């Protein structure tokens, strides 16, 4: 689970880049699913689902699928909060 505070005027840009990156991880890295929501506290929460921990670690080792899209997404972020990792086998 990833969490961010996003610049209010760049929320749609962030969402579009997040969706593009998530689709790439599903297509190219084996990610199973991804969800993005915004809480009442204006903290955006992204959830990535992987088949297992090994696939997740392998994807991390391979790096981001498209640095340009990742840079577009990160440019919208005011604050990146600590992620939460929960592995369920």
CATH number at residue 21: 3.30.70.100
Is residue 17 in a domain?
Answer: yes
Reported pTM: 0.88
- d(CA 33, CA 19) in angstroms, rounded, equals 11
Is residue 86 in a domain?
Answer: no
- d(CA 63, CA 60) in angstroms, rounded, equals 5
Question: Over 80: is that where the pLDDT of 85 sits?
Answer: no
- d(CA 4, CA 57) in angstroms, rounded, equals 22
3-state secondary structure of 38: strand
Angle between helices 11-24 and 67-74 (to 10 degrees): 150
Domain coverage including residue 68: 2-81
Each residue's pLDDT tens digit, 2-53: 999 999 999 999 999 999 999 999 999 999 999 999 988 999 999 999 999 8
Question: Over 90: is that where the pLDDT of 80 sits?
Answer: yes
Rg (CA), the chain: 13
């Amino acid at each position: 689970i990833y969490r961010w505070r996003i610049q209010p005027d760049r929320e749609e840009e962030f969402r579009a880049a997040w969706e593009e990156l998530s689709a790439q991880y599903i297509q190219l890295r084996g990610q199973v699913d991804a969800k993005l929501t915004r809480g009442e506290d204006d903290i955006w929460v992204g959830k990535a689902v992987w088949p297992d921990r090994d696939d997740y670690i392998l994807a991390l080792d391979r790096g981001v699928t498209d640095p340009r899209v990742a840079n577009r997404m990160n440019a919208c972020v005011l604050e990146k909060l600590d992620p939460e990792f929960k592995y369920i086998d």
